[in-house]
Chains A and B, each alone.
Chain A
């Protein structure tokens, strides 16, 4: 039973070794700078780590994000369907049309209600 999980265990070992090894390598091989104001910040690329938490995003971002998820999931459903498409033949095709049809109704709806309009 447990041996079936061996690849996962191996993957775990390899990834730990890789991550840890790289870290240790940079520790040993890298140049050691001790006093730099940038080294003490979380992001060394220059982004201010402290800012106001009350920053507001337009709700449209959320809306687009959630709509993206909906249609993204739609595509996810298409993968298994595509794999067995040959076996399902015409029936599978029609079923997928129904499925997409339902989502198209949703798409038309959001389009008409202006959910995708940015202004």
Chain B
């Protein structure tokens, strides 16, 4: 392909941001529509990319390479494979949806959309970068707009949440920086090219691998977030404005697992094997802990936020199982469960946050107890909420089920006891999700909500694509599975070098 597809996807939003700067603060309509347009282009491009992608190979595609800082041998190099293509698509989709969902923002509109577009640049870049330096730059670029988005447009404790988010993530990423430098100096010739480093993977010493793996894991685990590092998540998710919560849950969390799969796994095979049990244990702790805490939540948004901790735990459990079977075939069930979960959690939780936002805009409260019997008043909203609650708890036929099923099948192959414990998580998830649906939509109608209006067309427009995809992946997961199979097999082979 001749057009630099990935560069276009990354930098169109940046162009949009620059464009917005030339508009006046008062031209709210133009700002909204132009930023939607600028985020729509990457979405179109990502469809193009899906069409062009050759899923039969694990080779990187759409590769772009240009010399950037020669003395460091840093290159501007981009590329996509079966792991990043779904993520890029998800990012483009959720960004567009979130921008449309933010049309209700009336406070400092121009800055809001400018930051949002900058955020999209960072996210796209992380999923496409093939150079460590570039990866790190994008990883950090994302922080600043996110910080502002939470800090300016957030809820009552926005400043606390924003700083906490920033410091936590930065804490992780500076360890990543040290890890990157360590790898850089242990290669000859020094390189920061991720693909080169992956080739050299097994040559790294064992101690080095363990140390660097741990450094990287701190960075990625904070983003995921894995159990002991998760405390920024409820604050950030709850205080952030709706659209930002969608991005946080839908895309940012995936960067952690993406990083582990893209970097730690193939680059540090010894470290990965060394820590695989830890991954599984932390995953299971996350599943159970997240679910239990969710059960105790009275605030709807907090419930969804903690459910993310639980759901990302499945990712960890799934990715902890990787081996090459006796027949020489790579066992990718667990890994594909993980990637499926990344994708479907992005859809489902994104939609749930959108729905929470829809209700909050009208009711100005998120107390689950405050509602009741809403179904009679707003049936469309109620059914959408129920649909996604079901998807979240893993109802067969919806995408959540596929991913959890794959994770459990994969998990049993190596950690039967742990997986057995993890299954309890499904029951717990069903518990809090159903309780939420029952308390809010069934039972006695609370007259206080007499004036509640039904979800409007724009909001449906934002949620519909997510619902369709959830259903589509749930019923016919094969295309997505095909998309990533070759890449995942390659990763498993690389880990077992």
| Complex A–B touching at CB under 8 A | no
List chain B positions with a Cβ less than 8 A from chain A: none
